[in-house]
Amino acid sequence: MPSDSHPFPGVTHHRQPKPPAASETSGIEDAVTSILAAVRARGDAAVREFGKKFDKSDLDAFEVTPEARRQAVDALDPQTRKDTEFAIANVTRFAEAQSATMLPLEVEILPGVHLGHRVIPVERVGCYVPGGRYPLLSAPVMTIVPAKVAGVSEIVACLPPNAHPAMIAGCHLSGADRIFRIGGAQAIAAMAFGTETVPAVNKIVGPGNAYVNEAKRQVFGPVGIDQLAGPSEIYILADATGDAEMIATDLLAQAEHDVHTRVGLITTDAALAKAVEQEVARQLSTLSTASTAGQAWEAFGEIAICEDEAALIAYSDHIAAEHLQIHTADPKGLAKRLRNYGSLFIGENASVVYSDKCCGTNHTLPTMAAGRYTGGLWVGAYLKVATHQWLTAEGIRAVAPPAVRQSASEGLEGHRRAAQLRLDRLQQPAG
């Protein structure tokens, strides 16, 4: 989410990101609309056509068989499997701890008026697992494992046909009930509407490219989604104690994701700002992924200098970065004063890369300033908190009269009658 072009109080820019390029949203929107309509009307046949067109694939069957799943797991390098299972265990433990905080409720708010809620797992969830330029083995872990912990009845995973075989193994180990080799907007359509082979789901989660994002936006309503994801973001808050080498390393680690990654330093120390800029240039000269990270830094790299900590906090909350690291003398104290971010990394020992891969918190996070109103994917995203109520005669006597009066004043005679009927029944003699 590029910074607003107007000046921000107490903030000057040592390095300003370039303004965003002209949007191609309309072309993507029209293309996705056509894909969704075709899959909805023609099911598997349309999915197969789009697979040939976009992924150069011609599969006889979309679903990965149990045998193919076992083969993918067996083909994993032993250390890769151990590392994947390590990540699964950590994400599971954290999701279980989060789930334990979500409890059913029963309360009598007035004599005879009983209210409550249940915590109910979503019945069927679709997890989109992106292919990407590299086999991102953590991707299925982050979407599938919390669904498993939440108690979702059926977890459907879709990944591009040309995805690395290790991604199939990751889906299997994470607990996917069914795995389909379908990518792009057609995968979102298949999960949203259902086809002859792909079951319709109740909610779709997981990041993807612009077409996947747009497809999620268009199917939202009858089908739930986790969020609309933009390019990845990392910002680091630092004072004079910040380590320029470490800050530059962390910025470039995230920048290598994509040429559109947004990377920034917000600091109260002008000397550190200059040192970080120099260190980024030095590290790019030897970074094997510099072709990607360098473009991201050139186009979207930002260094903001704040006159004091209050301005630093205000500007950080304005940016609402997806990943927000704190490299200050008192990182825990500063953390308590921040409110807008996707996930917070407190102290220089906490690197985004640990969360991205295996430490246990989820890496599917809000971008484009959505951290101002929501957090990231978590076990609660797969659970519904649904309320209920029940009343005794005493409860009816408490709530019926005001309900009758309100209904009458609103001119809703049917409402008034429904409220009054139960009150009248209480006045009738028994038998």
pLDDT of res. 21: 57
Q: Would the pLDDT of 135 be above 90?
A: no
In this structure, are 202 and 234 located in the same domain? no
- 121 and 242 in a single domain? The answer is no
The pLDDT score that the predictor gives to residue 131 is: 82
In a domain, residue 1? The reply is no
Percent of the chain, pLDDT > 70? Answer: 96
pLDDT for 81 = 96
Give the CATH number of the domain where residue 338 resides: 3.40.50.1980
Shared domain for 111 and 187, answered yes or no, is yes
Answer with the one of 226, 256, 286 that is the final residue of a domain: 226
Note the pLDDT tens digit of each residue in 219-264.
999 999 999 988 999 999 999 999 999 999 999 999 999 999 999 9
Assigned domain for 6 exists: no
Q: What is the pLDDT of residue 2?
A: 43
Q: Nearest 5°: phi and psi at 181?
A: -95, 75
**How confident is the model over 276-313, as pLDDT tens digits?**
999 999 999 999 999 999 999 999 999 999 999 999 99
Please tell me which residue, 419 or 5, carries the higher pLDDT value: 419
Reported as a single tens digit per residue, the pLDDT across 165-188 is 999 999 999 999 999 999 999 999
pLDDT surpassing 80 at residue 22: no
DSSP string, 392-410: -HHHHHHHHHHHHHHHHHT
Is the same domain home to 190 and 126?
yes
Task: Examine the domain organization and report whether 240 and 203 are in the same domain.
Answer: no
DSSP 262-288: EEEEEES-HHHHHHHHHHHHHHHTT-T
Q: How many beta carbons lie within 10 A of that of residue 112, not counting itself? A: 16
Whether residue 141 is found in the same domain as residue 258: no
Asked, for residue 53, whether it belongs to a domain, the answer is yes
Question: Does residue 266 share a domain with residue 175?
Answer: no
> Quick check: is 20 in a domain?
no
Distances (CA, A) of 231 to 152, 286, 364, 417: 28, 24, 12, 54
246 and 328 assigned to the same domain: yes
Under the banding of pLDDT at 50, 70 and 90, the label for residue 427 is confident
Tell me: the pLDDT tens digits for 353-373? 999 999 999 999 999 999 999
pLDDT digit string (tens) for 79-92?
Answer: 999 999 999 999 99
Q: Write out the residue range of the structural domain in which residue 88 sits.
A: 25-226
Q: Which of 226, 250, 278 is the last residue of a domain?
A: 226
Least confident of 3-7, 116-120, 136-140: 3-7
Q: Do 198 and 180 form a contact (C-beta atoms < 8 A)?
A: yes
Q: Is the pLDDT of residue 128 over 60?
A: yes
> Does residue 308 belong to any structural domain of this protein?
yes
H-type helices in 126-164, by residue range? 138-150
Distance, CA of 68 to CA of 180 (rounded, Å): 12
Is the pLDDT at 158 greater than 60? The verdict is: yes
Q: Do 287 and 331 sit in the same domain of this protein?
A: yes
Tell me whether residue 381 is in a domain: no
Does 431 have pLDDT greater than 80?
no
- Catalytic annotation, residues: 322-323
What is the predicted pLDDT for the residue at 332?
98
Q: Is a pLDDT exceeding 50 seen at residue 1?
A: no
The pLDDT, as a whole number, for residue 24 is: 56
In total, how many domains does the chain have?
3
Cα distances (Å, whole numbers) of residue 380 to 148, 345, 347, 376: 12, 21, 27, 10
For range 6-24, the mean pLDDT: 79
Chain position carrying tokens 């108690």: 151
Q: What span, in angstroms and rounded, lies between the C-alpha atoms of 229 and 134?
A: 19
Average of per-residue pLDDT values in the chain: 95
Is the confidence at residue 129, as pLDDT, over 60?
Answer: yes
Residues 344 and 247 in one domain: yes
Is position 380 within any domain?
A: no
Q: Is the pLDDT of residue 66 over 50?
A: yes
Residues 406, 367 within the same domain: no
287 falls within a domain: yes
Are 415 and 348 members of one domain? no
Domain closes at, from 226, 241, 258: 226
